[in-house]
Structure 1
Amino acid sequence: MKSRQIVLGILKSGPQTGYDITQLFQTSFAFFFDSSAGMVYPALRKLEKDGLVTKEIVPQQGKPDKHVYTITDAGSQEFEDYLKSPVEPESVKSDFLARLMFGEFVDPEHIVQIVKDEIAKETEEAEQLQQRLKNYLPTYNKTMSTGQKLAFAYGINSSKTEIAFLQQWLDEHPDGK
């Protein structure tokens, strides 16, 4: 999965500004796709150059012009091809797991702290996902698709599963040994 496919998918729901797309990346997609505002605009420029999106410049009084992007038929076809292609293997990059792999070089108490910090982070992430889910409908004024519901539930469940697993480890290894 690349940012271009996510941008095209967002635009399938209707025209959006670069700012709107960035907000969705930082909220709805943040739990499974690492992105930044600096990634969205280059992706939009490339998609426009490739004829997959169009840009309408909307003048605003007292503000910079608004750039509104719309997916083209070619963009819709590329997105459909992406959805029908085989799912790519998951790519996990975890600073948490890397630190655990090198845990032999620190005191066991430090490992316990790393685990506690991860539990706190995952708890916060699960709470954020639940809040985003509650805010989704009024914010976007539409019903969620089965896939959207499943994606949110998957993220929440993944966090809760990790928390339960790590808490069990802490209960069994309070001194980190």
Structure 2
Amino acid sequence: MKSRQIVLGILMRSPQTGYDITQMFQTSFAFFFDSSSGMVYPVLRKLEKEGKVTKEVVPQDGKPDKNLYTITQKGKEEFTEYLSSPVERQIKKSDFLARLMFGDYMEPDQLREIIEDYVRKEKEETELLSERLEKYINKSSRKMTDTETLAYEYGVEANKFQVEFFEKWLENHPKI
């Protein structure tokens, strides 16, 4: 899965601005796709150059013009091809889990601190993503589809599971 395929998928639903697409990356896709906010515009420019999206400049009163991107037939074909291709194996890289693997070489307090910090960050991330998604939904004129809801709820539940798992582990290992 590449960022271009996600951008094309977002545009399959309706024309969007670069800002709208960035908001989707920061909300709906944040649980499973790591992207920077500066990635969307270069992808859109490349897709436009390839004829897979078109850009319409929409004038606004008292504001800068906005660019509205629409997927073309060529873009739809690439996206359909992506959906028909085999699902890529998930590659999980985790500095946190790598450190746990070497936890025997740490002082118990250091190991506990790393786990507690991870739990805190996961809680904060879940809360932040939930807030961002709620703001996005409230601003958007459309309702989330069943499959968007499925992916989002999975992400939230996966984060909750990790938090509960490590909190329980710490509780059962008070000497760490």
Query: What is the TM-score normalised by the length of structure 2?
Result: 0.89
SS in 2 for 1:59: strand
Match of 2:161 in 1: 161
Matched, 1:120 2:115: no
| Structure of higher RCO (CA pairs closer than 8 Å, 6+ residues apart) | 2
1:135 to partner: Cα distance: 4.5
- Mapping of 1:70-149 within 5 angstroms? 70-132=70-132, 134-135=134-135, 137-149=137-149
Match of 1:174, SS state, is coil
Give the letter aligned to residue 76 of structure 1: K
Q: Distance in 1 between matches of 2:166 and 2:59?
A: 52
- Partner of 1:56: helix, strand, or coil? strand
Give, in angstroms, the shift of residue 157 of structure 1.
Answer: 1.0
2:7 maps to 7
Distance 1:39 1:144 in 2: 24
How is 1:13-92 mapped onto 2 (pairs within 5 angstroms)?
13-92=13-92
Offset of 1:134 from its aligned partner?
Answer: 4.4
Deviations 1:18-65 (A, max 9, x none): 122112111221121111122111111111111110111223455433
Query: In 2, Cα distance between the equivalents of 1:32 and 1:89?
Result: 13
**Aligned equivalents of 2:134 and 2:49: distance in 1?**
37
Q: Give the drift of 1:81.
A: 1.7
Secondary structure in 2 matching 1:29: coil
CA contact (8 A) 1:55 1:67 kept: yes
| Shift of residue 142, structure 1, vs aligned partner | 2.3
Q: Secondary structure at the match of 1:58?
A: strand
In structure 2, C-alpha distance between the alignment counterparts of 1:42 and 1:91, rounded to whole Å: 24
- Cα distance change of structure 1 residues 62 and 145 upon mapping to structure 2, 3 Å threshold: closer
Cα shift at 1:75: 0.8
| Number of residue equivalences | 176
Partner AA of 1:82 in structure 2: Y
Decide whether the 8 Å contact of 2:59 with 2:66 is kept in 1: yes
Aligned pair in 2 of structure 1 residues 118, 92: CA closer, same or farther (>3 Å)?
same
Gaps of at least 5 residues in structure 2 are none
- Cα distance change, pair 81–56 in 1 and its aligned pair in 2 (3 A): same
Identity of matched residues, %: 59
TM-score for the superposition, normalised by structure 1: 0.89
> Equivalents in 2 of 1:134, 1:51: separation in Å?
33
1:151 aligned residue: 151
Higher alpha-carbon deviation: 93-102 or 30-39: 93-102
Change (3 A) 1:27 1:137: closer
Q: Note the aligned Cα RMSD (angstroms).
A: 1.9
